[in-house]
Structure 1
Amino acid sequence: MWHKRSVKPELDFKKNIPDCSDEQLIEILKLRKHYQPEAAKLAVQEAIRRKIIYSEQDLMAEEFRCEELHFSFFPRIKRQENRVKIRRSIARSLVLCGVLPLVFGFMEIKAEKLPEGLLILLFGVFWMISSAQLVKAYHQLFVKSLMIGAVTALVFISYHILSMSSFSLMDIFLLLAITGFIFYGLLFLQKMHQK
């Protein structure tokens, strides 16, 4: 947008601010100290023109008090349509993660480890179905099921790696990185829908 940090001169806030909805304009007013001064001034003028406020003195009211931006591992997503987009994006990534146990399960079956291969295949199918349900709609049951599945997979893969005669630190790093991203996505989904 037109935050102070922005260095893109091609963003034309003079054109975009008048196109904002009243709700978006109110959000800009609440965060006006974090915008370029010209953009904040234009937002105030537009709010006066639309009679959202009647003068700059109205910005002293509690509802327009400038919000501080705080660091958070899980950003607060205010707009419902953005929450839906983020949920679907994370869920699609989780569906793709389900391909890994499917491939590994087929490899185990090919190596004539039928029971273990079938269990891994079933886990992959369970993972993909649960993740696909999250693409459609958020439900805490699917998030908790995936959390339990991720912990189970982490324990199984850790045991599998440690039982190998030789393993590298890269194996452990990849395991921790992938599971870290999965847990972050699941915790973010849960935090986002606790409103």
Structure 2
Amino acid sequence: MLARVRSEKVMYVKAVEELEKSAQRIEGLIREFEARRKASASARTAPAGEGLARLKGRLGWPTEGDVVALFGRQKHPKFETYVQRKGIEIRAGHGTVIRSVSDGVVAFADWMRGYGLLAIVDHGEGFFSLYAHASKLLVGVGDSVRGHQPIGEIGDTGLTGESTLYFELRQGGEALDPLAWLVRRR
């Protein structure tokens, strides 16, 4: 029993390390997207989602379901280890629609280790939203999207072993607590 728990903990720690590497890759991608946007600012100031900052607390939810993991430092109940979450995890049925939280342009749409199928939407002014663990993406790089537009379907590619959407909001390289930006549910 103890050997099994130790083995599970080693696997968990390795998975967390992989996620941290992937998170660093995402941060690099966002810096690259932002640098490109700034370089082309003379041609166009921002994607269609310009003005996301004024929508704090009023963004639509990216999917239906229950939040099962919160933003920030979280302690794993079984392994007593901590992880810094840069987003939230929303449990929903396999195939449930994933929707863009606001207007923007798809900056990334592909598979990434630790995240599965991942879409990143550039909302302008340095704001990006990330949607991971999709079973299917309905958009491609360069596509313009509207708020509430379907962009994918939820899968079960995460560490939880269940169908979830991992969702992040970022401004530049800084992760923002999505719950502060999404409209309150009743």
Fold agreement, TM-score > 0.5 = no
Return the TM-score normalized by structure 1: 0.31
Return the TM-score normalized by structure 2: 0.32
**Over alpha carbons, which structure has the higher Rg?**
1
